[in-house]
Amino acid sequence: MQIPLGMQTRSWFWLAAGVLVSVLALSCAAQPQETKVNDAASTKRRAKAKADARKSRQRASQRFGYSWTLPKDWQFVDPGLFWAFPPTPAYDVYAAQHSADGPFILMIATDVIHTIPGRHAGHDAKDYDRLERDGAKTLEQAHAKLTSIERVQAFGVETVEVKGEQGKLRIIIRSLFVGYRKFEFRCFQLAEQSECGPALSEFIIEDLPEPAGERSAPQVRHLHDAGFGVAFDAPDDSWLSTGPFVARGGTQVVWIWSKSGQQIDVQVMDLEAMPRQPDQAEFAARMARSARESGHRVFESQTAFAGQLWDHHEMSRKGSGEQDLFVLVQQGVMYSVLVTQPTRDPRLIDAAKNGFRLIARAASPAP
């Protein structure tokens, strides 16, 4: 479902275009007859200029499966006004404006990790609760007052809409999941301006095949990944592994080992691909807060293994068993080990810790 066009803006544009055509027609009628010999060349130049102008108003991504063509009265601009972070492989970030006075729209696309076949972000109501919290947090960071949170439909899927105000500035954030992808649109407008809907009239989201990790068959795996500098051996080869599950342009990876209702997840994340790099304490605090918001009881401590001091969260939620999460940030990479069991068994926790090793990282290829 497309976001409706702002008809007043479109009508004014076509009215102005009609006046311009009339003026050009009068000018052409006054030209000498011999200038007609240049009509063919002029037509080709106009066609090329028109094609170039349309191309300059287009963006597309095969990775995220979208294409975006702006209306003629919109243009792409540097997103730096409302996105103060350098480009990273984890996100696509584009911005467009109607004029120098606004309105202004920011689009953020990324892929979201999922590790259960057939289930994506958005299948659980708590995923949308998180989008609501994220939208409210964005407004708070912009020093804007939260005015409403609603669930609407956009692009044929449920969408979270968060609205706020900062003086005369209105901020509207729409966030949605499509398969394993997340799209976020932030509209900034003055109170008297129309909304950003026209800019998205030709924003198309395509269906994409599932990532390879979702289709992987369980197998014996002795992990050795020099790119992230991580190695892991399960307690024994009766533990079968699935994955890798990849997100954020390959900067976040999860491998899973399972046996008899027990599970060990090993995750790595390149923090240099995040808009802002949190340190270990901040990252661990975020994960603890997220667990509590999901209804878990969390006990926080620290423990040492693999030659490092890790943050340790003992987590439990009624009906969900017991989990032990270990978090380490080392040289720009976040490592985590998550042990899930129906009942906490210290022997399995020790085996998971003993199976994890940090290894020498391979040098990144030259750009």
Which parts of the chain fold into alpha helices (H)? Answer: 7-29, 39-56, 125-141, 280-293, 346-355
Give me 35's structure tokens.
């200038």
Using alpha carbons, select from 269, 270, 245 the residue that is nearest to residue 255: 245
Q: How far is residue 245's CA from residue 254's CA, in Å, rounded to a whole number?
A: 5
What pLDDT digit, counting tens, does each position of 324-352 carry?
A: 999 999 988 999 999 999 999 999 999 99
Which has the closest alpha carbon to 166: 196, 189, 193, 148? 189
Q: For position 248, what pLDDT does the model report? A: 84
Supply the pLDDT for residue 105.
95
Q: For the residues 250-258, what does the mean pLDDT come to?
A: 91
Tell me which CATH homologous superfamily contains domain 212-358. Answer: Mog1/PsbP, alpha/beta/alpha sandwich (3.40.1000.10)
Query: Other CB atoms closer than 10 Å to residue 266's CB: what's the count?
Result: 26
pLDDT > 90 fraction of the chain, expressed in percent and rounded: 50
pLDDT tens-digit series, residues 111-164: 887 665 556 666 677 788 889 999 998 999 888 999 999 999 999 889 999 999
CATH of region 7-205, choose from 3.10.20.30, 2.40.160.10, 3.40.1000.10, 3.40.50.150 = 3.40.1000.10
In one-letter notation, the amino acid at residue 225 is: D
Please state, in angstroms and rounded to a whole number, the distance separating the CA atoms of residues 315 and 126.
Answer: 17
Provide the pLDDT for residue 186: 95
Give ∠ CA 23-28-30 in degrees, rounded to 5. 100
> Is the pTM here over 0.75, yes or no?
no
Contact yes or no for 178/155 (Cβ under 8 A) = yes
Residue pair 127/294 in contact (Cβ under 8 Å)? The answer is no
Distance CA 266, CA 164 (A): 38
How sure is the predictor about 250, in pLDDT bands with cuts at 50, 70 and 90? confident
Q: Do 334 and 343 touch, CB atoms closer than 8 A? A: no
Residues of the chain with CATH 3.40.1000.10: 7-205, 212-358
Beta strands in the chain (DSSP E): 58-61, 66-69, 75-77, 92-97, 104-111, 145-154, 157-166, 169-178, 181-190, 203-205, 222-225, 230-233, 240-247, 252-259, 262-270, 297-305, 308-316, 322-330, 333-341, 356-358
Q: Give 322's strand partners.
A: 316, 341
Residue pair 42/31 in contact (Cβ under 8 Å)? The answer is: no
Mean of pLDDT over the chain: 80
